[in-house]
Chains A and B, each alone.
Chain A
């Protein structure tokens, strides 16, 4: 047993002095916690105002197209799948498949954003935005619902964009063989980030679209 660990120690010294995948994974998780709590504050506000203005929230949500919301949910879930598959592929040294999966992920992310764009512009077109003409005649509950809707989906959209940029960088690394089947923590980390973005949407979807 002791001999064994000595060997491990040596292997560590010889192989790679500065790389510690476990450390970078740990750091990524800690970073995800900060993201979770960033959104956590907003979720708390949502909970509080929904508790206070249950009816206003329902009225406001009736305006939402839950079909588009559901489609976007499926899109993000699928993109999460493709990220997970890309990691499985790089582990098996299937570089092409891995890159393909990541391209697919990026497409999904873009599709999600396009959907969001149409949704937002629809609302804005109808005068529903902070300070907008339609919002002025609405009850407090509705105003707060839309206030939170814009902030939370907006911040989430921002995270989708950041996630896409991460994945873009990772793809460059993969194609230059900086990320390989024995060294893919960067891919793993951007995957973790992408899944977190997915998880946040998993909650946003029922909270904003499914209040009947």
Chain B
């Protein structure tokens, strides 16, 4: 009986800590690496903007911004460790936002 209850406690505690720390301790170093990546991408955007690439400038800038966003989302915002459902939420939100763009531009670009 006591043995049982003890195992209950530890199991429960293990679960509690897992639930509340999300069970994932990310090293400080990882975050700093991500930050370095973000800074590097920023300087790349600035550099690319200086070169005359025509309409590619905008595309490149947006692509880089998207990469930066996914770095922030995935690592800083812990999407990496989140339940599937949160990831699905984010996806749904982005898809619908994209639909707004596509349909609005179906008007603007054919006027």
Per DSSP, chain A at the interface is: helix
Q: What 1/0 flags go to A27-46 for Cβ under 8 Å of B?
A: 00110010011001000100
Which of A7, A88, A181 lies in contact with B31, CB distance below 8 A? Answer: A88
Within 8 A of A (CB), among B34-73: 34-35, 38-39, 42-43, 45-46, 49-50, 52, 57-58, 61-62, 64-65, 68-69, 72-73
Expressed in whole angstroms, the minimum distance between the Cβ of B17 and any Cβ of chain A is 7
Q: Tell whether A153 is near chain B: CB-to-CB under 8 Å.
A: no
Q: How far apart are the CA atoms of A33 and B73 in the complex, in Å?
A: 13
B contact residues, range: 35 or more
Question: Cβ of A51 and Cβ of B26 under 8 Å apart?
Answer: no
Question: Cβ of A192 and Cβ of B77 under 8 Å apart?
Answer: yes
Query: What 20 additional pairs, Cβ within 8 angstroms, besides A51-B105, A182-B17?
Result: A14-B12, A25-B86, A26-B85, A30-B89, A33-B93, A40-B97, A47-B101, A66-B49, A70-B43, A80-B35, A80-B38, A81-B35, A182-B21, A195-B77, A202-B68, A206-B62, A210-B57, A211-B58, A212-B52, A212-B57
Contacts from B to A (Cβ < 8 Å) = 8, 11-13, 15-17, 19-21, 25-28, 31-32, 34-35, 38-39, 42-43, 45-46, 49-50, 52, 57-58, 61-62, 64-65, 68-69, 72-73, 75-78, 82-83, 85-86, 89-90, 93, 97, 100-101, 104-105, 108-109
